[in-house]
Structure 1
Amino acid sequence: MIKIVPATAATDFAAVAQLYYDTWQVAYRDLVPAGYLDQLTPTTWHPEKRQNQTLLALAEDQLAGVCAFGPARDSRFAGAGELYSIYVHPAQQHQGIGQLLMQGALARLEPDFSSIYLVVLTNNLPARRFYEQQGFHATSQRKQTQTDFGPLEEAIYGRGPQFVKNND
């Protein structure tokens, strides 16, 4: 049985950071430069900073997934909500946990935001399909982040009146 619960001050945020790390090492292995993945550690992430904007998925009281969300961080999308991240431990994937996390985050965002967006690597086709199944669509907006190991190209996916569907 999967339980979706909000993070609290008592949350083991080191375990959450470890889940981020473990997921990145598997999910992004062939999507980002190897050097980029190699320089990551569990301390790369600081999930405790979003304690009040984080949901946890627990499978038999063990951390199986995490989702962070809140107001837009990108000024281009001021007034929208943002799904910051959603990660399911590789050993727990394809069991509906991501969908439960997404539903929980949207239930918290939708009362305050008529439009919601997220950022996803353009070459992360499984994630893009998942987001499309959850009612998001690709927009014409792109984001490129330059790293020491090469660029990361990201697509903006959105839902709601602020985000026009990309018909490319």
Structure 2
Amino acid sequence: MLEEQIIKKIREEETRNYGFNLLVREYQERVYWHVRKMVIDHDDADDLVQEIFVKVWKNLSKFREDSKLYTWVYRIATNECLNFLRKKKRRFFVPIHDLEGELTEKLTQNIAPTGDEVQMKLQKALLKLPDKQRLVFNMKYFDDMKFADIAEITGTSVGALKASYHHAVKKIEDLINTD
């Protein structure tokens, strides 16, 4: 369904619930994988996706249509992911390297039996990146998003995103080559 049709349904009082259901159907899987790549754990990702869509529902009236609907939803998802990771570090007083170890352990447990060694090396290298750098890498590399859309989602300039992506790629290459 086209974004404009979903927005039209959401804007009309009598079709708001239907429009929101269409929005969830359209974006739920993409948002789940966006979140899962950041938090690694399925249960955490599942809980976060529910919270994200509750937040989307509560803030529908604030959507001004000066951005695309999917970038608005992704921005909420991105902020929720980063907040979740920050809270997790604070709640458990976990230094960054310990959280990285915890996520690496979950990654190793969650890998499909057919997961190849290169993919595992990439995922472990990604966990060593700062959260925001990992986020930019995931959106560009895995989700094939345009820098302009990532800029809209993260509130960062395209130039800064390109630099961040370049640094992430370089760090990943170095980490993979040293393993």
TM bucket, shorter chain: 0.3 to 0.5
Q: Which has the higher helix share?
A: 2
Structure number with bigger Rg: 2
- State TM-score, norm by structure 2: 0.33
